[in-house]
Amino acid sequence: MTWSSAPYHIGCRDKFIGWPIEIRKKNLSFMAYNSRFLILPWVKVHNLASHILGQMAIILQKDWESAYGHCIYYLETFVDTQRYLGTCYKAANWICLGNTTGRGIKEKTRRITRSIKAVWGYPLTQDFREHLCRPQR
């Protein structure tokens, strides 16, 4: 499992959070992006994936603050729907927010150049919107 900074602009996520562009630019660092999640095919443990996701939601908050000196309030990931259903995220109470557009950040012609993925999010606190939409000083 790897975590990184969140992608710059994801339409369905930004709408779900409800933050203006300028605040998003400043507060994106308060989110973490699950960029890799692999359980090898021969590992057969019932509910392992959703259990790991649940534990990561607890552990990651502390580790992120220790490493980067600030809290995170929200987790997100993409699931390639041509290959996976996102079942483990659903079982771990993540929220499916919609789909990506299939365009990368550098694609200016509005052509689909990448596979369309489902966007899943997980708020780490009930008041995550207040934290993410708050102007930073």
39-56 confidence digits (pLDDT tens): 999 999 999 999 999 999
User: Furthest-apart CA pair in the chain: how many Å?
Assistant: 49
Q: How confident is the model at residue 135 (pLDDT cuts 50, 70, 90)?
A: confident
> What's the pLDDT tens digit per position in 26-38?
999 999 999 999 9
Cβ-count burial of 89 within 10 angstroms (0-12 exposed, 13-18 middle, 19+ buried)?
buried
CA–CA gap between residue 41 and residue 119 (Å, rounded): 23
Nearest to 28, CA basis, from 107, 103, 132, 102? 132
Nearest to 112 by CA among 120, 122, 102, 104: 102
Spatial distance between the Cα atoms of 74 and 61, rounded to a whole number of angstroms: 9
Domains (range + CATH), the chain: 2-133 (3.40.630)
pLDDT > 80? residue 1: yes
Rounded CA-CA distance 26/35 in Å is 21
Spatial neighbors of 61 by CB under 8 A, at least 6 apart, are 71, 72, 124
